[in-house]
Homo-oligomer: A and B are copies of this chain.
Amino acid sequence: MNNNCEVCFYRSFLFDNLEKKEFALLSLARKEIDYKKGEIIVREGEKISDFLYLKEGLLKVYRTVGPRKEQIVGVAKPMDFVGLLSVFSKSNYQYSISTLEDSSVCAIPLDLVKQMVHSNGDFANTLLKKMSEMNDQILNARLDINLKNLRGRTAYILLMLSKEVYKSEKFDLPVSRKEIGELIDMRTENVIRILSEFRNDGIIKIEGKGIEIVDMERLEQISEFG
**A90: nearest residue on chain B (CB-CB)?**
B136
CB within 8 Å for A88 and B143 given contacts A94-B136, A121-B117, A136-B94? no
State A85–B128 Cα separation when bound (angstroms).
11
B63, B87, B125, B135: the one contacting A143 at CB < 8 Å is: B63
Determine if A204 is an interface residue (Cβ-Cβ < 8 Å).
Answer: no
Determine if A7 is an interface residue (Cβ-Cβ < 8 Å).
Answer: no
Determine if A197 is an interface residue (Cβ-Cβ < 8 Å).
Answer: no
State A136–B131 Cα separation when bound (angstroms).
12
Determine if A71 is an interface residue (Cβ-Cβ < 8 Å).
Answer: yes
Total copies of the chain: 2
Determine if A37 is an interface residue (Cβ-Cβ < 8 Å).
Answer: no
State A146–B72 Cα separation when bound (angstroms).
12
Determine if A172 is an interface residue (Cβ-Cβ < 8 Å).
Answer: no
A84, A94, A117, A124: which has the most chain B beta carbons within 10 Å? A124
Determine if A73 is an interface residue (Cβ-Cβ < 8 Å).
Answer: yes
Determine if B146 and A143 form an interchain contact, defined as CB atoms under 8 angstroms apart.
no
Determine if A71 and B119 form an interchain contact, defined as CB atoms under 8 angstroms apart.
no
State A131–B146 Cα separation when bound (angstroms).
24
Determine if A114 is an interface residue (Cβ-Cβ < 8 Å).
Answer: yes
* A53: min CB distance to chain B, Å: 16
Given contact pairs A71-B146, A128-B128, a sample of 7 additional A-B residue pairs in the complex whose CB atoms are under 8 Å apart:
A86-B135, A87-B132, A88-B129, A94-B140, A117-B128, A131-B131, A138-B139
